[in-house]
Amino acid sequence: MIIEFHADLIKRYDKSGPRYTSYPTAVSFTPEFTQVDYQRHVTKSNKLAGPLSLYYHIPFCDTVCFYCACNKIATKDYSKTPTYLEHLYKEMDMQAALIDTSRQVEQLHWGGGTPTFLKRHEIEALMAYTRKTFNLLDDDSGDYSIEIDPRSVSKDTIKLLREVGFNRFSLGVQDVDEKVQKAVNRIQPIKETQAIIDACRENNAHSVSIDLIYGLPLQTVKGFAKTLQAAIQMNPDRLSVFNYAHLPHIFKPQRRINEDELPNADAQLDILQQTIETLTQAGYEYIGMDHFAKPEDELAIAQAESSLHRNFQGYTTHAECDLVAMGVSSISSVHNSYSQNEKNIDDYYAAIQAGRLPVVRGLSLTQDDILRKAIIQQLSCHFQLDFEQIEKLFGVVFMDYFADEIEALKPLQDDGLLNLQKYSITVTPRGRLLIRNVCMLFDVHLRQQTGQQSFSKVI
Ligand SMILES: C[S@@+](CC[C@H](N)C(=O)[O-])C[C@H]1O[C@@H](n2cnc3c(N)ncnc32)[C@H](O)[C@@H]1O
Ligand code: SF4
């Protein structure tokens, strides 16, 4: 996907907004949505009998990175994990009593926190319990991925992960500059990361992905150039380059970041521009919102074939899966519903001990939500929208239904971000970095939301 970088435009449109890993976003979930609603949606999804995607949230990390916006528990107490797994198994049993477990698990993901906080025997046991409970693929054809903090694993851990069935590995790197690493409390020598990537390759990983962040304290254009070169040297199949979301009123450890050391807006834009130029010159394709992939990677191929989708794990090729997420704070997406588990670990344990699914809030999508979700998916994955296709699928007259949105799109057209035609919207190369702004115009929930900001900047 070709993109053009225009600093002035980006500055003008830079405001806070969702990343649209779901629509409506989690901000719209309500406590009125209960376990009973979830069960109703599961029944409908069982009738359709599509494939499943399973997600397990493992919240523990043995140190805290000051920038972190994930739902994690920093602890050095490894005796916490048996209790957590015990509850996770019970949750799996409860889910398995509802879901038709003959449905094939096409996608499996362990996220965190740091899933590799678990000990070897715990990793084996959790995977064995999953195989016993659900219908996992045994021939390495599933998309089975895990988030890895390279500081928490050895080459042997990678071998073990591969043996139990993982074939995709996503590694947190963020920045290789020692000064930056010190400022965010994450010391991670390049050699250590490289050794883990080598281990992934030696064990025939299907895909290796690296996470970087720009906008961290003490980052400079020159410093980040080294990070980009190191990342390219590591030769990952995919790269996620996130803009640092600084929301210290929500994420307490971020208060330990010295705000005077954060690069200013201009410096951040320079780093972004350099990132795009360097990665595209190195042969990576821009997929969309923060993501790059090699042209031969499944994501780039799916985008070229118009079959790419977006969900809580970012871009994905598994559109048709119902997502069943387990563990503290995790979010499921089953048949036109979203449901989120308790965010607090004690509340999560209490619900499970009481024999309840720990669902604490969620949403049943209305027909309008489903329609807008399809539009936001199309735009964020393919940067274009075919009105006739939407009209056929949803029985609406696009220009009438979205008269206000069309009006709101016109200034963006005047700025050259998109081409608005009689039956389509095409986001131009200069509009692609600002795709969140385009999607936001179709988000009715966002218009109704007020109060303290909980989204990061769009760039
Ligand atoms: C759960 S972590 C990855 C696995 C592992 N815990 C690690 O750190 O290596 C998910 C990713 O979210 C990104 N991330 C965390 N906090 C962020 C923030 N405040 N802004 C932007 N990205 C962030 C980081 O790139 C991180 O690698
Ligand atoms: S970035 Fe990863 S290792 Fe660091 S605190 Fe967050 S989840 Fe834990």
From the CA of 19, the nearest ligand is 1
Our answer on whether the CB atom of 68 is closer than 6 Å to any ligand 2 atom is yes
From the CA of 150, the nearest ligand is 1
- Closest-CA residue, ligand 2 atom 6, reads 68
- Amino acid at position 105, single letter: V
In the reported structure, the alpha carbon of residue 151 is separated from the centroid of ligand 1 by a whole-number distance in angstroms of: 14
Our answer on whether the CB atom of 341 is closer than 6 Å to any ligand 2 atom is no
- pLDDT tier for residue 456 given thresholds of 50, 70 and 90: low
- Closest-CA residue, ligand 2 atom 1, reads 68
Please give the average per-residue pLDDT across 350-379, as a whole number. 97
- pLDDT tier for residue 458 given thresholds of 50, 70 and 90: low
In the reported structure, the alpha carbon of residue 61 is separated from the centroid of ligand 2 by a whole-number distance in angstroms of: 6
In the reported structure, the alpha carbon of residue 70 is separated from the centroid of ligand 1 by a whole-number distance in angstroms of: 7
- pLDDT tier for residue 457 given thresholds of 50, 70 and 90: low
Our answer on whether the CB atom of 117 is closer than 6 Å to any ligand 1 atom is no
| Tokens 């009481």 -> residue | 354
Q: What is the pLDDT of residues 355-368, one digit of tens each?
A: 999 999 999 999 99
- Closest-CA residue, ligand 2 atom 3, reads 61
Our answer on whether the CB atom of 111 is closer than 6 Å to any ligand 2 atom is no
> Is residue 451 over pLDDT 90?
no
Give the ligand 2 atom nearest the CA of 69: 6
pLDDT at 221: 97
Our answer on whether the CB atom of 172 is closer than 6 Å to any ligand 2 atom is yes
Name the residue of 58, 62, 64, 146 whose CB sits within 8 Å of the most ligand 2 atoms, as the mutation to test its pocket: 64
pLDDT at 311: 86
Rg of the chain (C-alpha set): 22
> Is residue 14 over pLDDT 80?
yes
pLDDT at 452: 47
Q: What is the pLDDT of residues 213-263, one digit of tens each?
A: 999 999 999 999 999 999 999 999 999 999 999 999 999 999 999 999 999
Our answer on whether the CB atom of 70 is closer than 6 Å to any ligand 2 atom is yes
> Is residue 454 over pLDDT 80?
no
Kindly report the number of other CB atoms within 10 A of residue 19's CB atom.
Answer: 18
Tokens of 16: 């806070």
Our answer on whether the CB atom of 64 is closer than 6 Å to any ligand 2 atom is yes
Give the ligand 1 atom nearest the CA of 172: 9
Our answer on whether the CB atom of 25 is closer than 6 Å to any ligand 2 atom is no
- Closest-CA residue, ligand 1 atom 3, reads 172
CA atoms 300, 227, 311, 320: torsion sign: positive
Our answer on whether the CB atom of 57 is closer than 6 Å to any ligand 2 atom is no
CA atoms 158, 164, 169, 174: torsion sign: negative
**Domains in the chain: ranges and CATH:** 1-24+367-459 (1.10.10.920), 26-325 (3.80.30.20)
pLDDT at 320: 82
Nearest to 28 by CA among 394, 424, 444: 444
Tokens of 38: 């979830």
Q: What is the pLDDT of residues 20-58, one digit of tens each?
A: 999 999 999 999 999 999 999 999 999 999 999 999 999
Nearest-angstrom CA–CA distance, 27 and 23: 10
Q: What is the pLDDT of residues 295-312, one digit of tens each?
A: 999 999 999 998 999 888
- Higher-pLDDT residue of 419 and 457 is 419
> Is residue 96 over pLDDT 90?
yes
In the reported structure, the alpha carbon of residue 216 is separated from the centroid of ligand 1 by a whole-number distance in angstroms of: 12
Where does 107-220 have alpha helices with state H?
120-133, 155-164, 178-183, 190-202
Cβ atoms of 434 and 458 within 8 Å: the answer is yes
Cβ atoms of 192 and 148 within 8 Å: the answer is no
Per cent of the chain over pLDDT 70 is: 98
> Is residue 453 over pLDDT 70?
no
In the reported structure, the alpha carbon of residue 149 is separated from the centroid of ligand 1 by a whole-number distance in angstroms of: 10
- Closest-CA residue, ligand 2 atom 4, reads 65
Cβ atoms of 427 and 417 within 8 Å: the answer is yes
From the CA of 74, the nearest ligand is 2
- pLDDT tier for residue 313 given thresholds of 50, 70 and 90: confident
